[in-house]
């Protein structure tokens, strides 16, 4: 049976510093989005494995102690065509955002509370899980100042002769949810949303989950 090495730390601050020194970074192994708007994201399981094991060695543990959820459900009717027959189906989009509080504890008995935020979108019952996963992932990354991916500084070419592209309009959460509803209803396409609007990383992640 494999035994994990434990590096004894005297207090909470020393343990946090040890994790920061040990975890040099987490690679972006998750492909999100498509085409020109695609990007690399950090997988939840990678963060938990790399940071979690370093925390264990430093004598740290983290548990959720408070969750403040906000839930919004949009429902609509959509016409679907199956084998040449049209039928009306009930559709829904569930949006959940959470404000979370975690207690970071050290074997010395010292502890601090850390705050997190996350949101998730799903057509069934997974939006809450997505929101909580997002919140914990970024609490761990920001708490220990973990770099993600590689900094690409290779593109150093500039030209005053090239006209910069026009800035795309950003979408609010409500506008994005309505757009997802239209995509699910078949009246709008993912490619059109990506082409017409400037989507943040969270919106691209949610959009990628739609078949």
pLDDT digit string (tens) for 13-34?
999 999 999 999 998 877 666 6
Looking at residue 8, its pLDDT comes to 79
Looking at residue 157, its pLDDT comes to 37
Looking at residue 83, its pLDDT comes to 77
Containing H/E element for 118?
strand 111-122
The two beta strands, 39-41 and 111-122, are unpaired
State the first-to-last Cα distance of the chain, in angstroms, to the nearest integer. Answer: 42
Query: Would the pTM of this model clear 0.85, i.e. be above it?
Result: no
Looking at residue 111, its pLDDT comes to 98
Whether residue 101 is predicted with pLDDT greater than 90 in this model: the reply is yes
Whether residue 102 is predicted with pLDDT greater than 80 in this model: the reply is yes
What percent of the chain has a predicted confidence (pLDDT) above 90? 45
pLDDT confidence bin for 164, thresholds 50/70/90? very low
What percent of the chain has a predicted confidence (pLDDT) above 70? 83
Which position has the higher pLDDT, 199 or 145? 145
**Average pLDDT over all residues of the chain:** 82
CATH topology of domain 12-149+168-208: Enolase-like; domain 1 (3.30.390)
**Per-residue burial over 128-162, b = 16 or more CB atoms within 10 Å of its CB, e = otherwise:** bebbbbbbbbbbbbebbebeeeeeeeeeeeeeeee
Helices (H) and strands (E) in the chain, counts: 6, 7
Q: Tell me the two tokens of residue 120.
A: 């998730």
53 backbone dihedrals φ, ψ, rounded to 5° = -65, -40
Whether residue 56 is predicted with pLDDT greater than 90 in this model: the reply is yes
Q: In this structure, what DSSP letter does residue 81 have?
A: E
- For residues 150-163, give the mean pLDDT: 40
- For residues 79-85, give the mean pLDDT: 77
Whether residue 166 is predicted with pLDDT greater than 80 in this model: the reply is no
Q: Tell me the two tokens of residue 139.
A: 């609490």
Looking at residue 5, its pLDDT comes to 63
Tell me the C-alpha distance between 104 and 9, whole Å: 15
Rank 21-35, 51-65, 185-199 by mean pLDDT and report only the highest. 51-65
Among candidate residues 113, 114, 118, the one with its CA nearest the CA of residue 97: 118
Tell me the C-alpha distance between 26 and 172, whole Å: 29
């Amino acid at each position: 049976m494999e035994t994990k090495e434990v590096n004894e730390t005297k207090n909470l601050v020393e343990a946090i510093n040890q994790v920061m020194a040990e975890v040099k970074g987490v690679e972006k192994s998750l492909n999100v989005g498509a085409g020109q708007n695609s990007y690399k994201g950090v997988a939840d399981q990678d963060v938990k494995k790399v940071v979690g094991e370093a925390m264990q060695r430093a004598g740290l543990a983290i548990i959720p102690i408070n969750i403040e959820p906000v839930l919004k459900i949009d429902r609509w009717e959509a016409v679907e065509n199956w084998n040449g027959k049209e039928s009306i189906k009930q559709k829904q989009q569930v949006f959940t955002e959470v404000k979370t509080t975690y207690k970071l504890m050290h074997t010395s008995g010292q502890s601090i509370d850390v705050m997190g935020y996350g949101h998730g979108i799903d057509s069934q019952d997974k939006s809450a899980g997505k929101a909580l996963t997002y919140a914990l992932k970024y609490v761990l990354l920001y708490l220990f100042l973990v770099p993600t991916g590689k900094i690409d500084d290779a593109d150093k070419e500039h030209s005053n002769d090239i006209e910069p592209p026009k800035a795309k309009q950003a979408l609010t959460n409500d506008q994005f949810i309505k757009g997802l509803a239209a995509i699910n209803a078949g009246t709008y396409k993912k490619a059109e949303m990506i082409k017409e609007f400037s989507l943040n990383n969270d919106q691209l992640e949610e959009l990628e989950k739609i078949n």
